[in-house]
Amino acid sequence: MKYKHMETSVIHEGYDSTQMLGSLTPPIFQTSTYTFDSAEQGEARFAAEEEGYIYSRLGNPTVRILEEKIAALEGGERGLAFSSGMAAVSAILFALTKANDHIICSSGLYGCTYGLLSMMKEKYNIKTDYSNMSSEQELENQITKETVLIYVETPINPTMQVIDLELVVKVAKKHQLLVVVDNTFSSPYLQRPLEIGCDFVIHSATKYISGHGDVIAGLAVGKKDIMDTIALTTQKDIGGVLSPFDAWLLIRGLKTLPLRMDRHSSNAEKIVQQLKLHKAVKNVYYPGDPDFSNVAITNKQMKLAGGVLAFEINGGKKEAQKVLNQLHFIKIAVSLGDAESLMEHPASMTHAVIPVEEREKMGITESLLRLSVGIEAWEDIWEDIQQALDNI
Ligand SMILES: *Cc1c(COP(=O)(O)O)cnc(C)c1O
């Protein structure tokens, strides 16, 4: 980062208004292609002998501003922007693996990433083993000759378990494995895996980085050489690139990321305190709760615990659905990280594809609800949840 504090970086990093006719806000370069002054210049651009734009799937000035920003915020060398979080996940995973390789992955994973890994096994015999990563020994035992990378989501959706990134990096370095972290739930303001020694960070920018629920986008950050290769292979040739307008929305969203994350986190803390006192609530899962089993890991690697929490109510699916149906202004919706508070029922929505036994093992019961705490007044959010809980 060029600036000392992230609050300044999110606004100023990656953009120089003097290069853009003094435009305070970055322009949207809404163009598919770029003209060359001469045939020779076109040749030189294609040969990478001259810097410059060629075609927007290979690079666009608005998108580039966003890519420079995210690289700086994560403390990495090069960022790339994608048309969705899944486009970022798939570009990275396809770039880092070949047929017959082996991946170790955190148990509990975004559903579509789970689907992608299953597809990679079917098509290319790339096997994945799932791990709690709770000790060095546990990880060591899962490493095989074919293992190439460790893929981590932390906190894990929806039970909010956290994984000790320092521990994962220690084992990975010993065995020369790459570590990829899906940092969607934290954003770079709360957690910076590259600074701990991880190799790649991925975001569904759809969530906190956008912050306004108006765009689907993905980001990835890593070392320059490998990201350069990815830009020219699995990004360019699979083609899930971000549009200039969506990049512009993310540049705008990023400006308030620290403000929003502070508010999401403090609201979540307040809601957790209240939920723990309500008699209809059996369990609350929040990485920042002082009673949370792994709160020491949270405190070690996260600035604040973020805005997502889950809770189990006394009862089953019927009661959980009743809570959702009785909400007044809190929306019934999947996704997270928006200004609006959103509640969902993982067992019948985001995690419905996972077989029941697996789901129960992950702690995703029929009575579990997930809440993405918005940035409304926490008192209003609690009042809405309380009246819904009171009436089951
Ligand atoms: C939403 C999400 C994704 C997928 O991102 P899209 O932008 O929806 O493609 C990946 N990982 C996590 C943790 C997510 O929450």
57 as an active site residue: the answer is yes
Looking at residue 125, its pLDDT comes to: 98
Q: What is the DSSP letter of 336?
A: -
Q: What is the mean pLDDT of each run of 10 residues along the chain (392 residues)?
A: 93 96 98 98 96 97 98 98 98 98 93 93 97 97 98 95 98 98 98 98 98 98 98 96 98 98 98 98 97 96 98 97 98 98 96 87 93 98 98 88
- The C-alpha atoms of residue 22 and residue 24 are separated, in whole angstroms, by 6
- To test ligand 1's pocket by mutation, which of 86, 92, 183 has the most ligand atoms within 8 angstroms of CB? 86
- The C-alpha atoms of residue 180 and residue 223 are separated, in whole angstroms, by 12
182 as an active site residue: the answer is yes
Which residues touch 93 (CB under 8 Å, ≥6 apart)? 103, 116, 117, 120, 151, 180
Listed by start position, the domains of the chain span: 6-254, 258-390
Q: Is 218 in the pocket of ligand 1 (CB under 6 A)?
A: yes
Which residues touch 107 (CB under 8 Å, ≥6 apart)? 130, 131, 132, 156, 362
Q: What is the number of other CB atoms lying within 10 angstroms of the CB of residue 363?
A: 18
- What distance lies between CA 236 and its chain's CA centroid? 22
- 86 C-alpha to center of ligand 1: Å? 6
219's tokens: 């980001």
- Is the Cα dihedral 299, 380, 348, 261 positive or negative? negative
Of the candidates 45, 64, 101, 110, the residue annotated as catalytic is 110
207 as an active site residue: the answer is yes
pTM for the model: 0.97
- To test ligand 1's pocket by mutation, which of 206, 249, 338 has the most ligand atoms within 8 angstroms of CB? 206
- The C-alpha atoms of residue 211 and residue 254 are separated, in whole angstroms, by 8
- 210 C-alpha to center of ligand 1: Å? 12
Nearest to 133 by CA among 155, 114, 158: 155
Q: Is 81 in the pocket of ligand 1 (CB under 6 A)?
A: no
- The C-alpha atoms of residue 18 and residue 255 are separated, in whole angstroms, by 19
- The C-alpha atoms of residue 246 and residue 217 are separated, in whole angstroms, by 7
According to CATH, the topology of domain 6-254 is Aspartate Aminotransferase; domain 2 (3.40.640)
Q: Is 210 in the pocket of ligand 1 (CB under 6 A)?
A: no
Q: What is the number of other CB atoms lying within 10 angstroms of the CB of residue 245?
A: 13
221: left (phi over 0), alpha (psi -120 to 50) or beta: beta
* Nearest-CA residue for atom 9 of ligand 1: 85
- 221 C-alpha to center of ligand 1: Å? 16
With the CA atoms of 321, 113, 167 and 305 taken in that order, what torsion angle do they form, in degrees rounded to the nearest 10? Answer: -40
Of the candidates 164, 182, 246, 338, the residue annotated as catalytic is 182
How long a stretch of residues is the chain? 392
Looking at residue 111, its pLDDT comes to: 86
- 119 C-alpha to center of ligand 1: Å? 17
Nearest to 348 by CA among 328, 329, 365, 335: 365
Looking at residue 353, its pLDDT comes to: 83
Looking at residue 7, its pLDDT comes to: 97
- What kind of architecture, by CATH, is found in domain 258-390? Alpha-Beta Complex (3.90)
Nearest to 241 by CA among 254, 226, 230, 225: 230
Q: Is 182 in the pocket of ligand 1 (CB under 6 A)?
A: yes
- 215 C-alpha to center of ligand 1: Å? 12
Which residues touch 382 (CB under 8 Å, ≥6 apart)? 270, 271, 274
